[in-house]
Amino acid sequence: MTSLERGAAVVTGAAGGLGSAVAAALHADGWSVLLTDVDPAAVAVAAAPLGGWSAALDVRDEAACAEIAATAASRGGLGLWVNNAGILVTGPAWEHDGPTRRRVLDVNALGAMNGTLAALAVMRGQGHGHVLNVVSLAGLVAAPGETVYAASKHALLAFSLGTLSDLRMAGYRQVHVSCLCPDGIWTPMLHDRLDDPGALASFTGSMLTPQRVAARAARLARRPRPVVSLPRWRGAQVRLLDALPRLAIGLTPLVRAVGRAGQRRQLRRVTSADRR
């Protein structure tokens, strides 16, 4: 399928980290990609080697999301919308004030909802298209130390799957919604968390590279599935813990120890790389 037949792809939060990696993987797979970010200068730099198509977008702005969807659709239709923009706060929920909690929910949950609905307004008219939401394993299980972040991702997972069911009930068979749930990713979101006790959960499993997650996102874009975890074994593990909350809570000391060991391991890797 050519990029013209596919239509355009939109990636939010694409100025760096996972977003720019996903945009690069989609570009390499033949998509015409519109990179968006709240920082227009940074996203323009990220877009330069991928065709130079970029735009400023604050996902909290519903009207702005609709404008981006229309802009992308003007280039042969909107084939894919990737909701990647997100923010992380760590620590016990009672340590965050109201504006902080609202900002996390506004970006991670409501912002992704805005993007999804803006894309679906176009895709339903076309009769085809795909929304890919980057959820995280924190959307599958409550992550100690990342409670507000996990709550926002749980909301996004429920919204995504419910919306997919609504689409099928309404007769839209070729409009898809997928959720990608990766383990911790070594991006700027975690670069300053190597001594943060609130971020321990992000270091308990496989520390993924943005490129590995982006490659899986590109495959998922070609073959939609409701929920994909990366790596697959971690998805099975956290789903088991989610089904057995008493066990999960009882294992919190072990999670703390494993996460701290993971932070130390990642610090050694970073230090070793810096010395080269």
Confidence of residue 275 (pLDDT cuts 50, 70, 90): confident
Contact 15, 43 (CB under 8 A): yes
Higher pLDDT residue, 4 or 227? 227
- Residues 81, 149, 159, 203: which is the catalytic one? 149
Distance of CA 27 to the CA centre of its chain: 18
Percent of the chain with pLDDT over 90: 95
Q: How confident is the model at residue 5 (pLDDT cuts 50, 70, 90)?
A: low
> Does 272 score more than 90 pLDDT?
no
Beta bridge partners of 80: 9, 130
Query: Is position 172 annotated as part of the catalytic site?
Result: no
Q: 77, 32 in Cβ contact below 8 A? A: no
Write the class of the CATH domain 8-274. Answer: alpha beta
Q: How many CA atoms lie within 13 A of 91 on its CB side?
A: 9
- Tens digit of each residue's pLDDT (9 = 90 or more) over 56-85: 999 999 999 999 999 999 999 999 999 999
* DSSP bridge pairs for 176: 130
Give mean pLDDT, residues 16-25.
98
Contact 233, 209 (CB under 8 A): no
Assign 135 to helix, strand or coil. coil
Confidence class for position 273, pLDDT limits 50, 70, 90:
confident
The mean per-residue pLDDT over the stretch 167-172 comes to 98
Q: Is the pLDDT of residue 4 over 90?
A: no
Average pLDDT of the chain to the nearest whole number = 95
Phi, psi of 78 (to 5 degrees): -105, 110
pLDDT at 1 over 80: no
Domain chopping of the chain, boundaries: 8-274
Q: How far apart are CA 106 and CA 17, in angstroms?
A: 20
Which pTM does this prediction carry? 0.95
Q: Using an 8 Å Cβ cutoff, are 139 and 157 in contact?
A: yes
% the chain with pLDDT above 70? 98
The number of residues in the chain equals 276
Where does the pLDDT of residue 234 fall: very low under 50, low under 70, confident under 90, or very high at 90 and above? very high
Averaged pLDDT, 25-40: 98
